[in-house]
Structure formats: structure tokens, C-alpha cells
Amino acid sequence: MLAEILGNKQIRTDQDSLQHWGKDWTNGFTVAPSAVVFPETIEQLQELVRYAISADVKLVPSGGRTGLSGGAVASNGEVVVSFDRMNKILDFSEQDRIVTCQPGLITANLQDFAEQQGLFYPVDFASSGSSQIGGNVSTNAGGIKVIRYGLTRDWIAGLKVVTGTGALLDCNAGLIKNATGYDFRHLMIGAEGTLGLLAELDVQLTVMPEPQVVMVMGVPNVGDLLKILQSFNAGLTLSAFEFFSDVALQKVRDHRSLPAPLSQPEAFYALVEFDESANSAAEAAFAACMEAGWVTDGVVSQSASQAAALWQLREGISEAIAPYTPYKNDLSVRISDVPEFLADVDNYVANSFPDFEVCWYGHIGDGNLHLNILRPEHMSVEEFFHHGHAMSPKIFALVAERRGSISAEHGVGLLKRDFLDFSRSPEEIALMRGLKGLFDPHEIFNPNKLLPVDDGLAADKN
């Protein structure tokens, strides 16, 4: 019984709790866990796994519940394992610049702790105030500074994980060099809770950057975005290169009553961030882009608060469009493929679904585009998601043509599971199933997530 492992304050079965902890930020899936548990120690995680094996119970790990692919949704009576109470910082080594923490630590609290040590945790995104570092690891979260600092994967120096037999693996222990065979740390990063329960993380920190400057530019032709990127990259090191359409900007301005950044609207906008010492190089790059006609206007922050205000225009999009229950796609192709790929997808959606409003934004500097189709007011969520699922194979075929990814940073979860073979070969999926069988032999972790349901019936792709 769960009550033999955990105190009764660590178990909830009331409907409000089941509905609250049984889902993430993804729409459109049934939420029906049987219980929510709040373990506080590694030993309790191991006990939970042994209980799940003996009672044939399935476990759905749950962090900040900001996931966007249904990775933390419990639809079939699973027990949700919430890490809300495993949220502590356990140790900090100044020499190693490593924070040892529990997976439930809120990302923003990790960032604040780093700053208090005069250091920096550089992976950042709009949901960092709610997301937990364990969830960031489980989806290898990217965000807005990937072009300079990489992804979550690049900052995990070690991790402890409880496998599907209840064993505790201590992976890499924070070592910089360790050439002793397969690195299971990297297997667990991005595994979306399907191979084990993350129990402890060694997070690498780095030096603080200089104060940052943000510039927003008006871009009439989306095909010029990469020329702008190349022009800036030629002269300075960018911390971020984001883009968003005027549709996205309007939604954020309406949602937060914000002024327009430029005197005239443009079809698209580029947001760049860089060290203040690169100001003159950035101004030179901006002038060159103006000269070339790739940008028509620009605004540059003069203070940290102005930089934050300009970031709001980009980071506020997700929240601003949420009322439209958008059908989300989180796509990536090589940077060099972005202009043609974006045009192909835009043409397909405009020709096939002319009355759907398309909202483009994303981390175009690393090839990651967020395509959000907004639900028309008159249409039910169910009908709208039906159309969304119908358009996905065509969009993913365009991704596959360029050897791109159908999920750049949000993970596969439930939402993209049946389309995984647009980005992974049958051989790879078979090997993934083999790994699942090795690490989760009793199939207790996050059932039906990430890997297509192996029923032999390929989802209709044509």
C-alpha cells in the first residue's frame, strides 16, 4: 500500500488534486490519475518503484507541469509522482561551480541561487518561474539563449536516477572527464520520465555575462532573417536571436496593453541580445541590415528595464495566445534550411486552412520555429484539434524532407508520439524500445509517452 511507504500527507486522491497534478500545460488530453504522491527522499522513490512493480501500478513523474506535449499527463489511473517536495539545494561547490539539487527545484530559484554566488545558470525560457529543473532535464529544455549557452543537456554535470528495478544509478558524479563507457546521464536527459525517476542533479554554473542589451528590428521579409543573423554573427557574439510575427506581437500587446516597439508595424520582428561591450558592433550590423533593406527600423534598450520590456514582447507570446487553445508545433531544421522551410509550411497552412490564424515565433537563431495555429472563435477545441492532427503529417513531411525534428525542445510526450517516425527511423525506434525494456523492464514509467504505441497500426500519415 502507498500508505506504508509515504505519510498520509504525502498522498492525495481528492478530485481537485488529481485534476491539478494530473496534467501539464497541454490541452486536449483526458486527466484521470488514481492518486498523487509527494516523495521527499531518494529512498521513498525507490520504495515507490518497488511498490509499483509489485502492485502493477504505473508512475507519471510530474515537475512544474509546464510541459507542452502532454509528457506529464496522467490519463489512465496512473499514480502521479510530484517532485514538489524534493525541491532543495543540497550542496554547492565554489571550485567546481556545481550546485547539487533535487529535481523539484524551480528553475528560477536555481538561477537566483547562482546569481547569489556571483555565477550564472544560462538556460532560460518564459516558463522558468514555474518549471522545475527535473522537468527541464527530462525534456532537455532549450529556450532563448541556446545559440550562446546550449541546452539543458550541456549543464548537467551528473545525476542520480532510480531505474525501473528500484536501483539507484549515480551517473558521472559531476566529473568533467570520464571515459568509462556509455554515459547514462545523457540517456536520462530528454527521456521524458520513461526510463527512470530523476533523484538528484549536479548542475554546472558559469560566469556571469556582462549586462545585456536587447534590440528589436522590423523585418518585412522573413526570408531575410538569416541574412540578418549572419550580419550580426559576423561582428559580435549574440546571446539570443529570436523572431516573431506581427500576429504574435499584436496578441502580446493586446494581452498586456503594451506599446508598439516601432513607429510602423512590420510582418516580422527580430530580437537580438548581446553584451553591452558589443554595442558599437551591433549598431554597425544594424546599419548594414538597414542599408541592405533587410530591416526597416529598430529600437535598442538603454537600460535593464528597457531590455526586459523588449523581451516581454517575445516571452509574453505563449501566455497571450493561450486563450486561443493553439495547436502547437515546435519544429527545428538546420539554420540554413529555415527560410525555405518556413515558407513551405506557411504556404501549406494558408492554402489548406485559410481561415486559421497562424502565429509564428521562436528561436530562429538555432533553427527552432514555434508554429502556433490559433483556434477560430466559432470552432470547438475538439474539432480544431482534429484539424491540427490532420495537418501534422503534411507539416512533418516537410520537416522530414530536411531531416529536421518534429519536436525541437518541448519533447514528444503524447502530442507528437504517433508522429515520431517522421524524425526517427524504425531502427532507432526499435533500439529505443530496447532501452525502455532494459531500464524499465516492468513498464511502470510514464506509459504511452514518447514511443508510439506498438500496436502495429501506424498512425495515418497519408
Kindly list the strands in the beta sheet with 168-171, ordered across the sheet, starting from the edge strand earlier in the chain.
89-93, 98-101, 197-204, 156-162, 168-171
When asked if residue 370 is in the footprint of ligand S2G (CB under 6 A), the reply is: yes
- In whole angstroms, how close is the CB of 388 to ligand S2G at the nearest point? 14
Cβ nearer to ligand S2G, comparing 69 with 87: 69
User: What is the rounded distance in angstroms from the CA atom of residue 370 to the CA atom of residue 336?
Assistant: 17
Contact with ligand S2G (CB under 6 A) among 6, 49, 126, 137: 126
- In whole angstroms, how close is the CB of 105 to ligand S2G at the nearest point? 20
Nearest to 45 by CA among 102, 88, 99: 102
When asked if residue 369 is in the footprint of ligand S2G (CB under 6 A), the reply is: no
Q: Do the beta carbons of residue 343 and residue 223 sit within 8 Å?
A: yes
C-alpha cell at 300: 535598442
When asked if residue 68 is in the footprint of ligand S2G (CB under 6 A), the reply is: yes
Positions 135 through 174 that interact with ligand S2G (CB under 6 A): none
- In whole angstroms, how close is the CB of 68 to ligand S2G at the nearest point? 5
- In whole angstroms, how close is the CB of 368 to ligand S2G at the nearest point? 8
- In whole angstroms, how close is the CB of 4 to ligand S2G at the nearest point? 40
When asked if residue 65 is in the footprint of ligand S2G (CB under 6 A), the reply is: no
- In whole angstroms, how close is the CB of 261 to ligand S2G at the nearest point? 17
- In whole angstroms, how close is the CB of 126 to ligand S2G at the nearest point? 5
What HEC string does the chain produce?
Answer: CHHHHCCHHHEECCHHHHHHHCCCCCCCCCCCCCEEECCCCHHHHHHHHHHHHHHCCCEEEECCCCCCCCCCCCCCCCEEEECCCCCCEEEEECCCCEEEECCCCEHHHHHHHHHHCCEECCCCCHHHHCCEHHHHHHHCCCCCCHHHHCCHHHHEEEEEEECCCCCEEEECCCCCCCCCCCCHHHHHCCCCCCCCEEEEEEEECEECCCCEEEEEEEECCHHHHHHHHHHHHHHCCEEEEEEEEHHHHHHHHHHHCCCCCCCCCCCEEEEEEEEHHHHHHHHHHHHHHHHHCCCCEEEECCCHHHHHHHHHHHHCHHHHHHHHCCEEEEEECCHHHHHHHHHHHHHHHHHHCCCCEEEEEEEHHHCEEEEEEECCCCCCHHHHHHHHHHHHHHHHHHHHHCCCECECCCCCCCCCHHHHHHCCCHHHHHHHHHHHHHHCCCCCECCCCCCCCCCCCCCCCC
- CA 75 to chain centroid, in Å, comes to 21
Nearest to 385 by CA among 375, 394, 377, 395: 375
When asked if residue 417 is in the footprint of ligand S2G (CB under 6 A), the reply is: no
Contact with ligand S2G (CB under 6 A) among 328, 375, 416, 436: 328
- State the binding string over 330-359 for ligand S2G (x if CB under 6 A, else -): x-----------------------------
Say how many residues make up the chain: 462
Cβ nearer to ligand S2G, comparing 366 with 440: 366
Cβ nearer to ligand S2G, comparing 98 with 317: 317
Cβ nearer to ligand S2G, comparing 12 with 370: 370
Cβ nearer to ligand S2G, comparing 68 with 101: 68
Q: Kindly determine how many residues on this chain lie close enough to bind ligand S2G according to the rule CB under 6 A.
A: 9
- In whole angstroms, how close is the CB of 26 to ligand S2G at the nearest point? 10
Cβ nearer to ligand S2G, comparing 370 with 449: 370
When asked if residue 318 is in the footprint of ligand S2G (CB under 6 A), the reply is: yes
- In whole angstroms, how close is the CB of 322 to ligand S2G at the nearest point? 8
Cβ nearer to ligand S2G, comparing 49 with 68: 68
Q: Measured at CB, which residue is nearest to ligand S2G?
A: 318
- In whole angstroms, how close is the CB of 168 to ligand S2G at the nearest point? 32
When asked if residue 247 is in the footprint of ligand S2G (CB under 6 A), the reply is: no
Cβ nearer to ligand S2G, comparing 67 with 158: 67
Cβ nearer to ligand S2G, comparing 184 with 360: 360
C-alpha cell at 295: 530591416
- In whole angstroms, how close is the CB of 138 to ligand S2G at the nearest point? 15
User: What is the rounded distance in angstroms from the CA atom of residue 370 to the CA atom of residue 331?
Assistant: 6
- In whole angstroms, how close is the CB of 208 to ligand S2G at the nearest point? 23
Cβ nearer to ligand S2G, comparing 247 with 317: 317
Which spans of this chain sit near ligand S2G (rule: CB under 6 A)? 68, 125-126, 317-318, 328, 330, 362, 370
